[in-house]
Amino acid sequence: MTVNYSLDAATASAWAVIAVIFLWRGSLMKLVWREMLGWTILMAVLYAAFVWGLKGTEYENYYKTMFDLTKEVPMDGTLMFLMSYMTYNSLTRWSETFKCMAWPENVALIYRQYANKRAMKPGEARLMNQTIARYLAIFYILLFRDVCSDVREMFPTFDDMVQPGIMTADEANLLQSSRLDRNSPHYWIPIDWIVTLVKSKYQPTYVYNRKGQRVRNKKESIMTELEYLKFIGELNKFRGRLGDVLSYDWVPLPLALFQTLTVFVYSTLVVNCFQMQTRIITSGKSSVSEMFVECLSTLPFNMLHLAFLRISQVVINPFGSDDDDFETQYLIDRHIKVLNEILCPEETKKQK
């Protein structure tokens, strides 16, 4: 997935630039080589059809007339405008989506800092930490299942999360038996579980006795009132940021815009083949060398058009299987390890 070349380009030397240019994974050539090969084949077929099939026949003038009709087609300015608009919007959505990818460290660290160990027995506190770490991991998995095909293949059903120990059978049944539609997002439910779990251990600072008097609560609370409010606020902010990821997935760029750019770029390549045939025929040479020179002179511009198109297609949905898409599987593994390091350090040391 994501291609990281930052280390190779850390120093802007000539060798570093060459090394980056010749990278294959996620490169320009990997994106456009099929289209460029098809364009070259079409160019050669049109040239061969004229030289060895129609030249000197009664159909030669009809063939030249067809080429002449494409000579004055004004496409470059319109195409550059469309490509710039589409690429800008696609890259903006890509960067904004990445900014929504909140990481769970803040929630785990705040809980670790605020949790009052005296409010629970040691075994109960350890189980509480493990459960919160699991719920945060489940939250990520449920979210990515709704937007990423790779994660959906890893966990096609809730039961597939039970076997690796991410979720218990009771929790899977609870998700399946919820009143939500099967296709509705369930990602927020583990956050509700965390709130319910912490709330069950929370005790208000002051309570009212039988006489209706306001007295200080003698029971130990897992958090103070202010800490509890800060923790719930951090959970809500965390859920809100990652919930915006679904918004970008539900409401993509208008389909007509995507189709317009795609059709226009490929139409430009086809028209360009005919325009090049006109230049070759009118030059009077009609040789392979002339076609080779025309191809080399036009190739950079066609690659530029295709590059912007393919970049827009790749970044319009960063949760697929393209080279530059987000590594959601890595993120899930990484978050599980980090959450265990923060909330369950004793278990992590035992595993090591």
Reported as a single tens digit per residue, the pLDDT across 69-118 is 666 666 666 677 777 888 888 888 888 888 888 888 889 999 999 988 88
Whether 325 maps to a domain, the answer reads no
Whether 6 maps to a domain, the answer reads no
Whether 185 maps to a domain, the answer reads yes
Range of the domain at 71: 25-98+256-315
Whether 13 maps to a domain, the answer reads no
Q: Which of 80, 189, 78, 84 is nearest to 140 (CA)?
A: 189
* Co-location of 232 and 110 in the same domain: yes
Please compute the mean of the pLDDT values over residues 294-300 and round it to a whole number. Answer: 71
Query: In the prediction, which pLDDT does 35 show?
Result: 83
* Co-location of 242 and 184 in the same domain: yes
Query: In the prediction, which pLDDT does 349 show?
Result: 55
On the 0-12 / 13-18 / 19+ scale of CB atoms within 10 A, 44 is: middle
* Co-location of 93 and 225 in the same domain: no
* Co-location of 111 and 196 in the same domain: yes
* Co-location of 138 and 276 in the same domain: no
Q: Which of 136, 112, 162, 120 is nearest to 346 (CA)?
A: 112
Whether 326 maps to a domain, the answer reads no
- SS3 label, residue 301: helix
* Co-location of 222 and 179 in the same domain: yes
Strand partners, 214: 208
Whether 12 maps to a domain, the answer reads no
* Co-location of 247 and 260 in the same domain: no
pTM (two decimals): 0.81
In the chain, beta strands by DSSP E:
206-208, 214-216
Measure the CA–CA gap between 109 and 157, rounded to whole angstroms. Answer: 30
* Co-location of 304 and 206 in the same domain: no
How many domains, in total, are found in the chain?
Answer: 2
Query: In the prediction, which pLDDT does 351 show?
Result: 57
* Co-location of 204 and 273 in the same domain: no
* Co-location of 261 and 248 in the same domain: no
* Co-location of 163 and 217 in the same domain: yes
**Cα 329–333–337 angle (5° rounding)?**
165
Count of CA atoms in the C-beta half-sphere (13 A) of 328: 27
On the 0-12 / 13-18 / 19+ scale of CB atoms within 10 A, 45 is: exposed
